[in-house]
Amino acid sequence: MVIKSRVRIAAAMVLLAGAGLIAGQGQPQEPPAQTPTFKAQVEYVEVDAVVTDQQGNFVRNLKKEDFQVSEDGKPQTVSTFTVVDLPIERAERPLFASRPIEPDVQSNERPFDGRVYVMILDDLHVDAMRTQQVRRSARQFIERNLGANDRMAVIYTGGRSADAQEFTSNKRLLLNAVDKFMGRKLQSVTLSKNDQYFRQLNGPDPTAPVRDPDDMERGHNAQSMLSTLRQVADWFGGVRGRRKTMLLFSEGIDYDLSDIIRSYDAPPSSASNILNDIRETLGATARANVSIYAIDPRGLIASGGDEAISVGSFADQTDASTGIGLGSLNNEFRMSQDSLRQLAEESGGFAAVNRNDTTSVFDRIVRDNSSYYVLAYYPPGNKTDGKFHRIEVKVNRPGLTVRARRGYASPKGKAQTKAPKTGGMPVEMYEAINSPLQVSGLTMRMFAAPFKGQQPNASVLVGIELSGRDLSLGQNSKVDISFMAVDNKAKTYGASNNSLTLNLRPDTRARVEQSGVRVLNRVDLPPGRYQLRAAARDPEKSLMGSVIYDLEVPDFYKQPFSMSGIALTSMAGSSMMTAKLDEQLKAVLPAAPAGLRVFPQNDEIAIFAEIYDNTGKAPHKIDIVTSVLTDEGKVVFKVEDQRDSSELGGSKGGYGYQTRIPVADIPPGLYVLNVDAKSRLGNDNAATRQVQFRVVPAMRGQQR
């Protein structure tokens, strides 16, 4: 059985560049089949260093002069020096709720200041019996250690891209990806050979050498796991100026990694391609400055203990040539742990082996990725020799410990100058929309609401709002806006690349400068999980921005009872100029849908939603309740409505629902808008949508 590794950073990330985009108002182009390309040549070498005292605490008061960096034993001049000290934030949640309310609007107003993780679940090298340990540990990290300002992706080494999760801060989506994990590691070489030994005893040649019958598949699995690490590291190379981390949940591979780094320049061994793959993987992590933290789910167990328990009897121990027995099991166990240590320690991370308690391990990982120093220097000479260059970082203060990557692999040959195929998109926007991190600069908001579309699709309303303060508003100024939706199999929908000309009258210009401009669009999407990605650029100001939005589209046609997304507007939100109105909502909302979620007390909120009822032909009633809850769960506004199944008509098979919420009587504070719908037919036919918002005092001089 051959398992081919196909790594997608949760589908959308690595293959996202395969999205073709519409130029201007034209038709979609055929997507170019390629992955994102980054500069392979070493322009400067970036090293992040964690410096701790004897108690393991991060030392914050070091200066550039306190560091000595050497390459291949020669001192280097540090040209760039930065201290990174990231906050660890918890998501704001109402006191009455067990978890935060997922936002229905995303913004890049605040620059990214969190940690970046890729959680790699090595299903190829985790025993099925330890599936629950991996799920439990991975869930623990996400629930307890992932900050609200962090981003994480979840991928599998076995290439199961549909079960993976692209970069997000949404813990629910990350946990869903973890819960799909299932270990499928082959049994050990020793046990495989032991079984083969007893099969050969009754065969035609019982004295034949005993070989591992799973050797080919075992080799492919090892190469697939290493290929995953290598491709993630290569892709991560495009993210500069911050620590990049892989969390590798694995039992390791049963190959000897001794002296791999020291023999980097030696010719590859003819015995196995695995050693060469290990070299390339370590070189890729070093080149991209990526740290690996390996977590062994076996915990504190005796060497080979679990496997030995399952053995009825071993082969003849008097024949040493068989290489079968408890000694070989122990050797495999040691080598697998050594592989984790080697991969982690060479990259500046560490391996958690022989540990049952992961709490302290995860706390240390977060500390390492929250506080560190970033040093950069220009390498000596023309580093295009394709060799591994060892880096050593020291500090001139006694008693301190420094952990940093141990080197980098320089590329070989000339730099690639061929420009990437961007499908008509400007290169800067192409890079922004493909980045795992939102780009701040030109301030943007994005909101989305799925409605029932033409079967089997949903018609998703997408709104993109741009800050007027960031835009050039001169005569014939323009702004470029790109958009795409990517599913969990890397398929792209609704890609567009348009220019909006802002040829405004003086009064309109003042309005746009104060409140901004809004662009509405509809995209047809089948049921599933998506990432909506938008980028905008003001060419005159050379300002760029991007926003990433996680969206789940329900199957409105198959679910017995469901609710659309909520389209929301207000008087304050209506002050923003809308480039093009949504024809389907013009008749049901007093103004264009808006992404504003902070309302002054003299405002009024208007909402629209659709409830889809497929519960059957029996006559029945539907109860719809809209309420506003305080942080403590107290109801400050409530309106009840009732519909009859006789009102169902047309192809949508649902009820259009609209209501208004006056804000004047709601004190300033944080609130949750609840829209609940329930069929009286019972059978748990109910649906709920929630939107978190804030009320602020009305500014003096504002008019209702």
Dihedral angle over CA of 534, 539, 541, 542, nearest 10 = 70
658 vs 675: CA distance, rounded Å: 10
Average pLDDT, the chain: 83
- At residue 39, the pLDDT reads 33
For residue 411, is pLDDT > 80?
no
173 vs 156: CA distance, rounded Å: 15
Please give the CATH topology (third level) of the domain spanning 41-94+101-108+116-409: Rossmann fold (3.40.50)
- At residue 115, the pLDDT reads 92
Give pTM, 2 decimals. 0.85
* Cβ partners under 8 Å of residue 490, min gap 6: 8, 11, 12, 14, 15, 16, 18, 161
Q: What is the pLDDT of residues 75-103, one digit of tens each?
A: 999 998 999 998 888 877 777 787 889 99
In 3-state terms, what secondary structure has residue 198?
A: helix
- H or E element at residue 199: helix 189-201
The more confident residue out of 542 and 274 is 542
Q: What is the pLDDT of residues 207-223, one digit of tens each?
A: 788 888 888 888 889 98
Return the structure tokens found at 229.
Answer: 């690490």
- At residue 546, the pLDDT reads 96
Considering 56-60, 85-89, 239-243, the range whose residues carry the highest mean pLDDT is 56-60
For residue 664, is pLDDT > 80?
yes
Contact (Cβ atoms closer than 8 angstroms) between residue 32 and residue 18: yes
The more confident residue out of 402 and 618 is 402
Give the whole-number percent of the chain exceeding pLDDT 90: 51
* Cβ partners under 8 Å of residue 639, min gap 6: 625, 626, 627, 659, 661
Question: How far are the Cα atoms of 122, 272, 409 from residue 156, in angstroms, in the given order?
Answer: 6, 24, 26
694 vs 678: CA distance, rounded Å: 27
pLDDT average, residue stretch 374-398: 84
pLDDT average, residue stretch 311-321: 57
Contact (Cβ atoms closer than 8 angstroms) between residue 444 and residue 464: yes
The residues that bridge with 691 in the sheet, in sequence order, are: 673
Rg from Cα positions in the chain = 29
> What phi and psi values does residue 60 have, to the nearest 5 degrees?
-95, -15
458 vs 452: CA distance, rounded Å: 5
- At residue 281, the pLDDT reads 83
136 vs 685: CA distance, rounded Å: 32
What is the distance in angstroms between the CA of the first residue and the CA of the last residue of the chain?
70
Contact (Cβ atoms closer than 8 angstroms) between residue 38 and residue 369: no
In 3-state terms, what secondary structure has residue 166?
A: strand
Please give the CATH topology (third level) of the domain spanning 566-704: Immunoglobulin-like (2.60.40)
The more confident residue out of 299 and 226 is 226
Considering 4-18, 141-155, 296-310, the range whose residues carry the highest mean pLDDT is 141-155
Q: Environment class of residue 421 by beta-carbon count within 10 Å: exposed (0-12), middle (13-18) or buried (19+)?
A: middle
Q: Which residues of 362-399 are buried (b: 16+ CB within 10 A; e: fewer)?
A: bebbbbbbbbbbbbbbebeeebeeeebbebbbebeeee
For the chain, the maximum distance between any two Cα atoms, rounded to a whole number of angstroms, is 98
Comparing 99-103, 553-557, 558-562, 607-611, which segment has the lowest mean pLDDT?
99-103
Using alpha carbons, select from 644, 622, 608 the residue that is nearest to residue 561. Answer: 622
Comparing 425-439, 450-464, 603-617, which segment has the lowest mean pLDDT?
425-439
Show me where the domains of the chain are located. Answer: 41-94+101-108+116-409, 566-704
Comparing 33-37, 495-499, 617-621, 668-672, which segment has the lowest mean pLDDT?
33-37
147 vs 158: CA distance, rounded Å: 28
Contact (Cβ atoms closer than 8 angstroms) between residue 532 and residue 548: yes
In 3-state terms, what secondary structure has residue 514?
A: helix
Considering 35-49, 80-94, 119-133, the range whose residues carry the highest mean pLDDT is 119-133
- At residue 316, the pLDDT reads 57
- Reduced 3-state DSSP string for 267-324: CCCCCCCHHHHHHHHHHHHHHHCEEEEEECCCCCCCCCHHHHHCCCCCCCCCCHHHCC
Comparing 262-271, 646-655, 668-677, which segment has the lowest mean pLDDT?
262-271
- pLDDT bin (cut points 50, 70, 90) of residue 271 is very low
Contact (Cβ atoms closer than 8 angstroms) between residue 393 and residue 75: no
Angle at the Cα of 216 (from 215 to 220), degrees rounded to 5?
Answer: 115
199 vs 307: CA distance, rounded Å: 19
